[in-house]
Structure formats: C-alpha cells, structure tokens
C-alpha cells in the first residue's frame, strides 16, 4: 500500500473520531442525549459506524486496487497479508482490503436502502391500519400476520430460484418488502394510542383531513419507535444479505459484498483464513455497532421516559 493510502486510512479514522466526538458533544446537551450516552457501547458504536460509512464514501481513495482486479492470478493466489496487500489476497489474487472497502458500499447500501423501503412500507401500512377503523385495518393486519409467519429466508430463496439472475435492485427491493411486517405492527400500536389523544381530536375539529392528521400529527409522534426499529433493522438486513451471498445467491460476482467475500474464501478457510475472516469481522462489528446505537436510541427516544 502506498503512503497515500495509509494517509487516507488515517484520515478516515480521524473523520470517524470527529463524528463520534461531535455526536457525544451534542448528545450531552439534552436529556434524551444523556440517556443515549448512558449506554456504554453507544459512543463506540457511533465511531464504528462513522468509520465504515467513511470507508464506503471514500472507497476510491482508500482502496489501492480495483476490487475486481486480479493482480497476479499465477503467483498471488490466497497470499497472506503483507505490506502490498495488508489483508492479503483471495483465490483470484484480488486485494482483500480493496474488496472490503468497496464491499462496505454494497453491504451498507443494501442495508440502508432495504431498510428505508421496509420502514416506509411498515409505517404506511401501520398508520393506515391504526388510523382507519373497521375492516381495512383488520384485513391489513391479518395480511401482516401471514407475512410474519413466512420465513423470510425461504421467500428470498424462492425468488432467487425463480429468477435466474436476480438484479441487485430487485434483491434489495425484495429484502425491503419482506421486512416491514414487524415495523407495521409497532407503528399500528403507536397510532392506535395516538389517535385517541386530544391533539388529534383538536386537529380534526380544526378541519384537518385524514392525510394531514396522519402525516402532521400522528406519524411525527410515532417517529421514535420507527427510528429505533430502523437502526436495529439495518443490521438484520445486512446479516440476511450476507447469508444469501454466503449461499452464493445474493450479490452477483464479481461485485464485492461482505457476504460474498466470505463465500469466496470459505473453501480456503484452513489455508487462507484472511479471505473470510476480515469481511466476517466487518459484518460482526457493524451489526454490533448498529445494535448498540439502536439500543441507545431506544433509551433516548422512549416517550415513557420523556420528562414532560
């Protein structure tokens, strides 16, 4: 690795530290923020997330090689970590570090986008099911029960089996559209209690229609559980994607995702553990960080703890 790459890596660490520091400073200023900070793992979690997000954003600066570039397919197969390839190379002589950095884009991106799809669908269905009485809500929630009863992995495997080459966008959409059921239940429960609050009655008395009531009065007050479930959900989606890729059914080769990297390295675990070990560590770190931040946010945003 060149000096420039090392410099960029140091820069990424510095950026992550700055972000964590700034988040800490801002959180300490409010009561909710202090509840967040009481979680011992919340601040390290923010740092880890900031670090990997920086990696993903600045991937071209940080990766010495193209992630798909086979450096020397004859002499550099499964080469141990060295000064040239700090995390070693895989069986196709590709630089593991470069793939890890670009893989952050894919893995974090899939996690985030799929979660956005899931949260939007879950919040929408939950809000309608909670706000509209009568059969509409009941029918929607029975549908959700069915969705929750289906094992997500099997639904995805079925889709993969039906489609020969699943485009990445479709995969992300599928992961999102199979992941909103729990969120919709959460949002519906919140909406059921919010709709009875007097400020909702006041808005209706002022002439606000259902759309305005839901978007201006109900959903903003249900934001806390939605945010928490989103933070926890991203980690879940990343694990799911890793699982699919590990079965060889997720992100199509040669695109690097952390799951597909583990899959690529798995046959050589005994001789070249670095090919699977490092992406595995990256997944574990990010998922743990997301859970830590999600737990912290839950404590911080839980309205039951909000002092009036």
Partner 1 sequence: MTPGARLVQVDGLVKHFPGARALLGLGRARRPVRAVDGVSFAIESGQTLGLVGESGCGKSTVGRSILRLIEPDAGRVTLDGVEVLALGPRELRALRRRMQIVFQDPYGSLNPRMTVYQTLAEPLAIHRLAAGPEVERRVRSLLEEVGLDPAFARAYPHELSGGQRQRVGIARALSVEPQFLVLDEPVSALDVSVQAQVLNLLAELQRKRRLTYLFIAHDLAVVKHIADHVAVMYLGKIVERASAAALYGAPRHPYTTSLLSAVPVPDPTAQRQRIVLQGDVPSPAAPPPGCPFHPRCPHPKKNDRCRTEPPALREVAPGQLAACHFAEEPM
Binding site for partner 1 (CB under 8 A): 197-199, 201-209, 212, 216-217, 220-221, 223, 308
Given the complex with partner 1, which of 72 and 145 has the nearer CB atom? Answer: 145
Given the complex with partner 1, which of 14 and 202 has the nearer CB atom? Answer: 202
Given the complex with partner 1, which of 134 and 165 has the nearer CB atom? Answer: 134
Query: What are the DSSP calls for the chain, one per residue?
Result: --HHHHHHHHHHHHHHHHHHHHHHHHHTTSHHHHHHHHSTTHHHHHHHHHHHHHHHHTHHHH-SS-TT--S-TTT-TTPPP-SSSTT-B-TT--BHHHHHHHHHHHHHHHHHHHHHHHHHHHHHHHHHHHHSTTHHHHHHHHHHHHHHHS-HHHHHHHHHHHSSS--HHHHHHHHHHTS-HHHHHHHHHHHHHHTTSHHHHHHHHTT--HHHIIIIIIGGGGHHHHHHHHHHHHHHHHHHHHHHHHTT-SSPTTS--HHHHHHHHGGGTTT-THHHHHHHHHHHHHHHHHHHHHHHHHHHH-GGG---
Given the complex with partner 1, which of 60 and 220 has the nearer CB atom? Answer: 220
Query: Closest separation between CB of residue 150 and partner 1, Å?
Result: 21
Given the complex with partner 1, which of 2 and 211 has the nearer CB atom? Answer: 211
Query: Closest separation between CB of residue 65 and partner 1, Å?
Result: 49
> Residue 294's closest CA among 203, 207, 233?
233
- CA distances 236 to 54, 68, 286, Å, are 21, 27, 11
Query: Closest separation between CB of residue 182 and partner 1, Å?
Result: 22
Query: Closest separation between CB of residue 209 and partner 1, Å?
Result: 8
> Residue 51's closest CA among 306, 307, 286?
286
Query: Closest separation between CB of residue 295 and partner 1, Å?
Result: 23
Given the complex with partner 1, which of 4 and 201 has the nearer CB atom? Answer: 201
Given the complex with partner 1, which of 219 and 249 has the nearer CB atom? Answer: 219
Which residue is listed with tokens 């952050």? 104
Given the complex with partner 1, which of 6 and 215 has the nearer CB atom? Answer: 215
Query: Closest separation between CB of residue 131 and partner 1, Å?
Result: 15
Given the complex with partner 1, which of 25 and 197 has the nearer CB atom? Answer: 197
> Residue 65's closest CA among 38, 94, 40, 26?
94
Query: Closest separation between CB of residue 191 and partner 1, Å?
Result: 14
Query: Closest separation between CB of residue 211 and partner 1, Å?
Result: 12
Separation CA 91–CA 111 (nearest Å): 27
Query: Closest separation between CB of residue 196 and partner 1, Å?
Result: 9
């Amino acid at each position: 690795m060149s000096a420039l790459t090392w410099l960029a890596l140091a820069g990424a660490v510095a950026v992550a530290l700055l972000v964590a520091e700034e988040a800490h400073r801002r959180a300490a200023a409010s009561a909710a923020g202090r509840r967040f900070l009481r979680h011992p793992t919340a601040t390290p979690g923010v740092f880890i997330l900031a670090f990997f997000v920086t990696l993903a954003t600045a991937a071209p600066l940080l990766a010495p090689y193209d992630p798909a570039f086979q450096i020397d397919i004859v002499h550099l197969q499964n080469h141990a970590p060295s000064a040239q390839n700090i995390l070693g190379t895989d069986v196709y002589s590709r630089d593991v570090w470069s793939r890890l950095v670009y893989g952050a884009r894919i893995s974090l991106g899939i996690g985030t986008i799929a979660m956005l799809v899931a949260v939007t669908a879950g919040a929408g269905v939950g809000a309608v099911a909670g706000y509209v009485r009568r059969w509409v809500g009941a029918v929607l929630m029975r549908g959700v029960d069915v969705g929750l009863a289906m094992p997500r992995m099997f639904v995805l495997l079925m889709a993969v089996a039906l489609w020969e080459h699943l485009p990445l966008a479709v995969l992300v959409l599928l992961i999102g559209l199979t992941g909103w059921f729990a969120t919709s239940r959460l949002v519906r429960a919140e909406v059921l209690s919010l709709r009875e609050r007097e400020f909702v009655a006041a808005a209706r008395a002022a002439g606000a229609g259902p759309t305005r009531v839901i978007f201006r009065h109900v959903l903003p007050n249900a934001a806390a559980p939605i945010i928490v479930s989103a933070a926890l959900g991203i980690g879940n989606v990343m694990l799911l994607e890793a699982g699919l890729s590990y079965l060889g059914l997720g992100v199509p080769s040669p695109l690097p995702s952390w799951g597909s990297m583990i899959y690529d390295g798995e046959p050589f675990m005994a001789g070249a553990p670095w090919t699977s070990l490092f992406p595995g560590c990256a997944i574990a770190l990010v998922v743990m960080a997301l859970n830590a931040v999600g737990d912290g946010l839950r404590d911080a945003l839980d309205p039951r703890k909000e002092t009036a």
